[in-house]
Chains A and B, each alone.
Chain A
């Protein structure tokens, strides 16, 4: 570990400042802690989905919308057949998996062609995938009237309420109160379980090979690792976890958001993992959890503060600013390091 760097320092300082201000304004901290745990698990899976590609040396998965669309499709299928409660949620996960495998396979072929500049290519694959899926959402023959436009009955709605399906299925699972603090144990357990599986995966043969490819591709090639295959596996894994990530997010949010909603979702996730300390070295589960927690706590605190102090829209703008600032900082930092290495 190379210790704490500027972005972490900045975000922690910013968080402390916000906490002090929240204290002064009388925003109850108990609720903040409870909310932050919910948001950690709600967004954590999406952040976790960046891990395989980062560790395989492909870089940040700015094409996260590909995985997200797979998850959205899985959820739409589950809602179409009126899956509800926990079973509906599991259905959504199961349906989205084969879709994610298909999307991920195609996506991995593309990324294997653009070796060395995957990030920019991934960004535009993600961006161009959205209008393609918009086409699909408009013409797909879904049958549940709750999903379709009320007038005309054709084409999916931009946001589908999950209340009577699997909305809050995980959030309400084993939700307990500890000393008045709401604890969504089921949600946290699910996130924890996925993290554990990811952690264990990197101890298996494929997982080790993935890290080897990420650290030194030439060396991995010489040691007999099928680099292309390992990279493809990393992309497919990222896509599957991304699909599941949006399922967890949507059940917690209570709505499936279609059309242009996933467009910008990759960027907050990317900055969360970067804040967690994934810069220039192997990314661990700890980076994911820490980064998501810090990033989401800033998110929770910024809304009431902006409402109290300034203009409501400012919260969103500042969040975007921080999120993109962190990504740019990471790019600049990485850039100098690699240019030193080649000299």
Chain B
């Protein structure tokens, strides 16, 4: 049964309070919000399908993000720019995302019931591997073609790569500016297109299978569904979406923090999804869309609000970090407790 979820209400109230105390103009907040909606939207949408398949929050979307970064770095290395470059990045990143998504899926089929902790560890592990390749592999095993992005010692890539040739390649398409609010219509439509894609996938036969497996993996197997295969597909789609999400994010920022850009994408995306009213057992597209707006409004205003209320911007910073982690901790606590009550009602 759909239970009333208090989380979006709390986020809404906190956001309103935050806007009030920060003293920021609505126009400024809206502009920032649109930018963040575009940057992070697809990443949040990537989480929905694994949740539907009963695998919980997929923290391994960082792996998808890293695949995108591999594509970006290769494009800079081979100096492929513009729209062609972007298409090649999408292709290369997509192939990596498919392979790693498949591998993650196989891993997760061995840890049923512990998928979330496993995806966190997989994310850490993949980060180490990624850092190893680009810090020690580049310049020793892999020959670089673009000396500009290398560290002066000749081994390893610089911390920061300038993506000037990709910066806002898509962002400025169809830009409209009603009343000082800049809306890049193409990008908003692109994010909504991904939202529709998720909605479409959930409405197909695959969507039914995902829901059946999410309801109960064992029952799905009895019905003749290859649950393991469905779960692998779910995680692969998620990884692929995350890869696309990170490409959009990076071209919007216009810089690539090679070793750290992907690191918090999982936490912020999961927190945003939960802020929109999703649980770890059920997530819908509108949860993602509402969640991005609520979560990022709070994110935009809290440092300034912290400055105004406590005369210390660091406190606002801690507050928003706490909100990100705390939302996930709170949701896990409430959702698991409810699920336990449902599964073992007779237990004390």
Contact = CB atoms under 8 A, between A and B. Distances in A.
B117 A331 contact: yes
B120 interface: yes
B333 A114 contact: yes
Contacts of B125: 321, 324-325, 328
A332 B56 CA distance: 17
A113 B333 contact: yes
Contacts of A114: 332-333, 336-337, 340
A300 to B, nearest CB: 19
Contact of B329 (A121, A318, A331, A339): A121
A156 to B, nearest CB: 12
Interface in A294-324: 310-311, 313-314, 317-318, 320-321, 324
Contact of A320 (B124, B267, B315, B325): B124
Contacts of B127: 320
Interface in A201-215: none
A139 B326 CA distance: 20
A311 B155 contact: yes
Given A311-B156, A318-B132, A335-B111, A124 B325 contact: yes
A113 B336 contact: yes
Contact of B318 (A110, A138, A324, A331): A138
A267 interface: yes
A121 B332 contact: yes
Contact of B128 (A119, A324, A339): A324
B22 interface: no
Interface stretch (A21-29, A34-42, A47-55, A128-136): A128-136
A249 interface: no
Nearest to B119: A120
Contacts of A317: 128, 131-132, 135-136
A252 interface: no
A289 interface: no
Nearest to A135: B318
A321 B128 contact: yes
A83 to B, nearest CB: 28
A332 B111 contact: yes
Contacts, number: 135
Given A121-B336, A311-B155, A317-B135, A131 B121 contact: no
A327 interface: yes
Contacts of B128: 317-318, 320-321, 324
Contacts of A267: 124
Chain A: number of interface residues, binned into ranges: 35 or more
Interface string B291-317: 000000000000000000010101100
A42 to B, nearest CB: 23
A14 B2 CA distance: 53
B107 interface: yes
A192 to B, nearest CB: 32
Nearest to A63: B329
B61 to A, nearest CB: 16
A121 B326 CA distance: 11
A124 B333 CA distance: 10
Contacts of B140: 310
Interface in B103-139: 107, 110-114, 116-118, 120-122, 124-125, 127-129, 131-132, 135-136
A335 B110 contact: yes
A108 to B, nearest CB: 13
B107 A124 contact: no
A110 B111 contact: no
A320 B131 CA distance: 11
A339 to B, nearest CB: 6
Given A113-B333, A124-B329, A328-B118, A336 B132 contact: no
A95 interface: no
Contact of A138 (B121, B122, B312, B332): B312
A325 B326 CA distance: 27
Nearest to B270: A124
Contacts of A134: 314, 318, 321
B333 A331 contact: no
B134 to A, nearest CB: 10
29 contacts: A62-B117, A113-B333, A116-B113, A117-B113, A117-B116, A117-B336, A120-B116, A121-B329, A121-B336, A124-B332, A127-B267, A128-B322, A131-B319, A135-B318, A138-B312, A139-B310, A310-B155, A311-B153, A317-B132, A317-B135, A318-B128, A320-B124, A320-B127, A320-B128, A321-B128, A328-B107, A332-B118, A335-B114, A335-B118
Given A328-B107, A334-B111, 7 more contacts: A116-B336, A120-B116, A124-B328, A311-B153, A321-B125, A325-B125, A328-B118
Interface of A: 62, 110, 113-117, 119-121, 123-125, 127-128, 130-132, 134-135, 138-139, 155, 228, 267, 310-311, 313-314, 317-318, 320-321, 324-325, 327-328, 331-332, 334-336, 338-339
